[in-house]
Amino acid sequence: MDLSGFRDPEIARGLIDAIAASAAKTGPVKIMEVCGTHTVAIARNGLRAVMPENVILISGPGCPVCVTANIDIDTAIEFARQPDVTVTTFGDMMKVPGSRSSLSREKAEGRDVRVVYSPLDALAIAEENPDRQVVFIGVGFETTVPVIAAAIKRAQAKGLKNFSVFSAHKTVPEALRALVNDPEVAINALLLPGHVSTIIGPEPYQFLAEEYNVPGVITGFEPIDVLQGIWMLMQQLEKGEADIEIGYTRGVSPGGNEQARKLFGEVIEPADADWRGIGIIPGTGLAIREEFAEFDAMKKVPVQPEEPREIPGCQCGDVLRGVTLPFECKLFAKACTPEHPIGPCMVSSEGSCAAYYRYTDYGDR
């Protein structure tokens, strides 16, 4: 697909002017972009700096690595410390600090921790190493769950006894309920995630408009996508309306991807989840169903990590809630850098702190 039109400077200027025209009629507006990919796109393209003074863009909990609580990271580390266990994970989980260590440090100390690009790669490692338990660390939102479910079903079909998944997955919509209920966050509108919405569609967000009068627009990741999404939100706010709209029509349809949802619904069920900076949110986690319990790492290789503890001075949790900007943290760009991260918001490529560090003038809003 030719995306050049989604990067056209003249179209961008027209949208920026249109946003400013609406902003002149709305008063102060705080818009949260939920998705980490949006955070990167906004920072990389300098979009915060071109917003009107009364339109503030803040980042939300849209980085799945960042919102993974210390207890889950500590659990992954504890798996790695077990004899005859191989831990497999996506690369951005390696450097995320837990309470006392990281998977990268455990690997350096001789534990068998391997980076994979898909749970299907972990499945292949399990087939090649029948004498070891292979645990895949499942971190992500709704987008990554169908392939996890497919891997588990394939393992069952192959009769693999040494493959399992530690599910630290989370679902987005109900986490947004927690945010709009938080008076300290005080958001007026939401840029909703494109990737997640390809799976779930717009319907699960409808409560935001109906119950809280908070408009939302699902948008893509090019500069024009993001600006169009902001403009659509400003139009709703100017008119005093609240609805959930799709700006990313080339990727998201009403109803989402029914086949993908059906696949992960067969294997995965809702559970409570601990979100960094927010806490336990009922029903926002994803657990492996009892019918597939033999592939649940917590049942196959039960571990008990030490009591989790937070890293002194790290404000990643407040950054994820949108109440602290990355550069307001005293560790930002000093003790905490992408090369030597203190918190996960500086580790992941989708993390707010990493995006600000790489792309944003620290004086930008």
pLDDT (tens digit, 9 = 90+) per residue, 193-216? 999 999 999 999 999 999 999 999
CATH at 90? 3.40.50.11740
Q: Are 165 and 223 found together in one domain?
A: yes
Q: Is the pLDDT of residue 3 over 90?
A: no
Rounded Cα distance, 135 and 243, in Å: 42
**Domain end (from 301, 324, 345):** 301
Q: What proportion of the chain, given as a percentage, has pLDDT over 70? A: 98
Structural domain includes residue 276: yes
Average per-residue pLDDT for the chain:
94
Residue 163 lies in a domain: yes
* Number of structural domains in the chain: 2
pTM of the entire structure? 0.92
Which of these ranges, 5-9, 341-345, 349-353, has the smallest mean pLDDT? 5-9
**Domain presence at residue 95:** yes
pLDDT of residue 349: 85
The CA distance from 55 to 206, in Å, is 23
With a cut of 50, say whether residue 365 has pLDDT above it. no
308 occurs within a structural domain: no
Angle 292-293-294 (CA atoms, 0-180°, nearest 5)?
Answer: 90
CB 322 within 8 A of CB 58: yes
The pLDDT score that the predictor gives to residue 361 is 64
pLDDT interval class at 283 (50, 70, 90): very high
Are residue 38 and residue 169 in the same domain, yes or no?
yes
Indicate if 228 and 352 belong to the same structural domain: no
Q: Is 131 part of any domain?
A: yes
Task: Identify whether residues 237 and 344 lie together within a single domain.
Answer: no
State which residues form the domain around 348: 316-358
Q: What is the 3-state secondary structure (H, E, C) of the chain?
A: CCCHHHHCHHHHHHHHHHHHHHHHHHCCEEEEECCHHHHHHHHHCCCHHHCCCCEEEEECCCCCCCCECHHHHHHHHHHHCCCCEEEEECHHHCCCCCCCCCHHHHHHCCCCEEECCCHHHHHHHHHHCCCCEEEEEECCCHHHHHHHHHHHHHHHHHCCCCEEEEECCECCHHHHHHHHCCCCCCCCEEEECHHHHHHHCCHHHHHHHHHHCCCEEECCCCHHHHHHHHHHHHHHHHHCCCCEEECCCCCCCCCCCHHHHHHHHHHEEEEEEEECCCEEEEEEEEEECHHHHHHEHHHHCCCCCCCCCCCCCCCHHHHHHCCCCHHHCCCECCCECCCCCCCHHHCCCCCHHHHHHHHCCCCCC
Across 75-105, b (16+ Cβ under 10 Å) vs e yields bbbbbbebeebbbbbbebbbbbbbbebbbbb
pLDDT in the model for residue 1:
63
Is the pLDDT assigned to residue 363 strictly greater than 80? no
Q: Are 66 and 316 in contact (CB under 8 A)?
A: yes
The answer to whether residues 174 and 228 belong to one domain is: yes
Could you tell me if 216 and 346 lie in one domain?
no
Same domain? For 174 and 285 the reply is yes
Is 126 among the domain residues? yes
- Taking the chain, what is the end-to-end CA distance rounded to the nearest angstrom? 33
Res 364 pLDDT > 60: no
The whole-number average pLDDT for the span 248-276 is 95
Same domain, 343 and 194: no
Amino acid at 304: Q
Quick one: 286 and 350 in the same domain?
no
Tell me which of 278, 301, 324 is where a domain ends.
301
Q: Are residues 210 and 70 in the same domain?
A: yes
d(CA 323, CA 9): 31
Is 310 a domain residue?
no
* Residues 341 and 292 occupy one common structural domain: no
| 220 shares its domain with 124 | yes
In this predicted structure, the answer to whether residue 57 has a pLDDT above a threshold of 80 is: yes
Domain membership flag for residue 279: yes
Residue scoring higher pLDDT (295 or 92): 295
pLDDT in tens, 284-301: 999 999 999 999 999 999
Confidence of residue 7 (pLDDT cuts 50, 70, 90): confident
